[in-house]
Chains A and B, each alone.
Chain A
Amino acid sequence: MNLFAEIFVNSNLVFLKYSLLAGIFSSFAFGITGSYIVVRRISYIAGAISHSILGGIGFALFASAKYNLSWLTPYSGAVAASIFAALLIWFAEKYSKERLDSLLGAVWAVGMAGGIIFISITPGYIDPMSYLFGNILMVTKTDVIIIAIFSFFICLTAFLFQNKLIATSFDEEFLEIRGVRTDIYKLMLLIMTALTIVLMIRIVGIIMIIAMLTLGPASASRLSRNFFSMSILSVILSIFFVLSGIGISFKYDLPGGPAIIMTAGIFYFSVLFLSSKNFIINFIKNLFHK
């Protein structure tokens, strides 16, 4: 704990304090939205949205450098791109007969390609690596405030509409017969997913963000009996991954994002192993009996 006390007190480590706070605040949204993503089995949708964000970031960087639009930050580009991708996926699923996985592949790759092209034609040098894999040195005080506000509203929406969101995830067909507009709640979940992803882009980056959305909730679902406890546990796990990941990265001078994801991954695989231990033991026993 001394480590964390030092981070919060030492003014030379102010960037670490910001990324810790950003990580903790966004963990609330990650735990809750992630739980929906895991139970609905739509992590591939989250993957497509997160990768398409690079397109928005690239465009924002390019346009703000080229036309001197200082208000067009990479963050606003990311928000716009993620919401655009969520709407596109929702419309396509609802109205087009195109196979969803083909469309997601297209959103995924076109977003990345567009982002890299925009970054390459932007005047001056920009390292796309920090957007792809995250960089805890980039988190600012304004970012922390924006993240806290967004996270609060995502959690509030999830809380207010919890019954309808859970019911839509559990049994869409039944609710349609009851006259519930399930398409609206599906859109709500997609927008929540899009905004949640943006929150941790700075810390873990576009490529690995999907792990933050799924590993915590997937571990939590093996340890809980209802959705409420699953999402609470997911939030706690997400905070734990962020704290220990940043702690490890600081102590051993490792990149922050990958350290967080590694922690989450090791935890997930341990839970998976322990909860299927009996199965594995029996499997090995049977192997030797034959």
Chain B
Amino acid sequence: MDKEPIIKFKDVHFSYFTNSSPVLKNIDFEIFKNEIVCIVGPNGGGKTTLIKLIAGILKPDKGKIEIFGSNPKENGSKLGYMPQSVHYDNSFPISVKDVVLMGLLGKKGPGSFFGWYSKDDKQKCEDALKRVKMDKFIKKPFYALSGGQKQRVLIARALISDPDILILDEPTSNVDSETEDNFISLLKELNEKNNKTIIMVSHDMGFVSEIVSTVFCVNKTLVIHPTNILSGEIIQEIYNCSMQMVRHDHRCSGKGHIK
């Protein structure tokens, strides 16, 4: 693990409207290369807002955010993003190939004004799909895929620009447990073999504890829990911060983690 943090938040405050109460306040953290961070917290606690701040879609009211030592807005191509699967229109006529290629749009360079894809880009698309074992589906319409397949295609779209950081918003919602297991091993592989730093938002603690090195508990403010000292007490604390998790987790007793 490198000493220099790749993401750095310093005393960040954010509210959506001026004069309204802040969604996030006093956010202070550092994320290092090759970490897998999981952001948990109750609905409306500011998880998605935090992700949008990292991605540079939102600007903080106060405080400083540095990604690779510079402003988040300048790092679009170093971030691979996978939104929540619920936000897709299930009748949108688009092929898997076009969905994945979309991950290259916006980069600087030739063709970026009109956004036409080159042969090289199409090769990248195939490679990205191969990496998630979805290359056979390249010509299929996106809406015809199962939940787990869609998820893999969306990961391929996040990977196609070869980002250093992967940001995943609720990656395991709407998939069954077998798909989830496959997905966890995919993330593990991306983290270990390809040196991707992974940040994900999740409700599912069972999923969290398996591969994650740090848990960020977000509810207006931020509490950080390294998983290697994840004791029963801390689990309780995390649970207090997110009642949602208690119901979703299938591996925990009231006293703490069984694992």
Contact = CB atoms under 8 A, between A and B. Distances in A.
Interface of A: 39, 41, 160-161, 163-164, 166-167, 169-171, 173-180, 221, 224-227, 229-230
A171 B82 CA distance: 11
Nearest to B167: A177
Contacts of A175: 102, 105-106
A39 B93 contact: yes
The 8 closest A-B pairs by CB, nearest first: A179-B76, A178-B106, A180-B106, A164-B115, A163-B115, A177-B55, A167-B102, A225-B141
B73 A221 contact: no
Contacts, number: 84
Contact of A230 (B57, B93, B101, B116): B93
Interface of B: 55-57, 73, 76-77, 79, 81, 83, 87-89, 91-95, 98-99, 101-103, 105-107, 114-117, 141, 157, 161
Given A163-B105, A171-B83, A177 B98 contact: no
Contacts of A221: 91, 93
Contacts of B87: 171, 173
Contact of B98 (A41, A179, A226, A230): A226
Contacts of A224: 93
Nearest to A41: B89
Contacts of B98: 163, 166-167, 226-227
B115 A161 contact: yes
B95 A226 contact: yes
A171 B93 contact: no
Contacts of A161: 114-115
Contacts of B89: 39, 41, 170
A210 to B, nearest CB: 20
A170 B102 contact: yes
Contacts of A166: 94, 98
A177 B115 contact: no
B79 A177 contact: yes
Given A167-B102, A226-B141, A176 B92 contact: no
A178 B76 contact: yes
B79 A226 contact: no
B94 A227 contact: yes
Contact of B114 (A160, A167, A170, A174): A160
Contacts of A163: 98, 101-102, 105, 114-117
Contacts of B88: 170-171
A179 B91 CA distance: 26
Contacts of B83: 171, 173-174
Nearest to A231: B93
